[in-house]
């Protein structure tokens, strides 16, 4: 844990997330969200690793994305765990990053039922009794169970998202809707939040 925020295990003192893009699919049968979170970070002090907050996420792989479009796999270390603050996701960089550098990392993952941010309701639990329902509540430190992040109000991020949901459901977020497209028996809803916000204000409802 670092001195900037005792409730975060991320290395807030050396990197700062500037933008997050989420590509997620909603599965009501398994009560999971799965896909990729792509983080753009600014290095504020030389570092050999990026450390992010997670809680009850199943992280499959992580990649460092280059400006040329190429990607390289990053070693994943999830050995640092805390009963309250979750699991620190340590990503070792291939070489030291210097102050002022920009880093872009893609993380493939899935949420789990143990995460505190997401609530799934069956049709029977809703007023209409016809469709399932999903909503998130990331305050105060539950954003880390929705996506890997620097889960601290000291970090403000812009974000965008493509959320794939089964028809005829609709997705909404704490962001501006930028369109939707039908994909078979699903619809992908797109969002953009240009105003920087803390991670706990990222919200999704389906």
* Domain range annotation of the chain: 15-205
Dist. CA 133–CA 121, nearest whole Å:
5
φ and ψ at 200, to 5 degrees? -70, -10
Compute the average pLDDT of residues 150-162. 98
Give pTM, 2 decimals: 0.95
Residue 3 is predicted with a pLDDT of: 67
Q: Are 31 and 169 in contact (CB under 8 A)?
A: no
Query: What are 98-152's pLDDT values in tens digits?
Result: 999 999 999 999 999 999 999 999 999 999 999 999 999 999 999 999 999 999 9
What confidence tens digit (pLDDT) does each residue in 50-62 have?
A: 999 999 999 999 9
Minimum mean pLDDT range among 10-14, 64-68, 162-166: 64-68
Domain 15-205 has CATH 3.40.50.970: no
Nearest to 11 by CA among 88, 66, 78, 73: 88
pLDDT band of residue 1 (cuts 50, 70, 90) is very low
Buried b (16+ CB within 10 A) or exposed e, 129-139: eeebbbebebe
């Amino acid at each position: 844990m670092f001195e900037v925020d005792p409730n975060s295990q991320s290395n807030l003192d050396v990197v700062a997330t500037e933008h997050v893009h989420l590509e997620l699919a909603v599965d009501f049968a398994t009560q999971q969200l799965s896909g990729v979170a792509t983080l753009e970070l600014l290095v504020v002090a030389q570092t050999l690793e990026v450390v992010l907050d997670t809680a009850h996420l199943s992280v499959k792989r992580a990649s460092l994305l280059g400006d040329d479009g190429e990607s390289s796999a990053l070693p994943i270390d999830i050995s640092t765990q805390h009963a309250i603050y979750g699991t620190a996701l340590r990503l070792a960089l291939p070489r030291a990053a210097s102050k002022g550098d920009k880093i872009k990392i893609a993380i493939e993952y899935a949420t789990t039922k143990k995460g505190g941010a997401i609530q799934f309701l069956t049709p029977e639990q809703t007023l209409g009794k016809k469709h399932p329902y999903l909503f998130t509540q990331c305050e105060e430190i539950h954003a880390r169970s929705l996506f890997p992040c620097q889960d601290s109000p000291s970090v403000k991020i812009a974000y965008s998202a493509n959320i794939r949901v089964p028809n005829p459901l609709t997705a909404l977020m704490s962001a501006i809707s930028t369109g939707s497209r039908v994909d078979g028996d699903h619809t992908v809803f797109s969002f953009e939040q240009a105003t920087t916000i803390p991670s706990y204000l990222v919200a999704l409802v389906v």
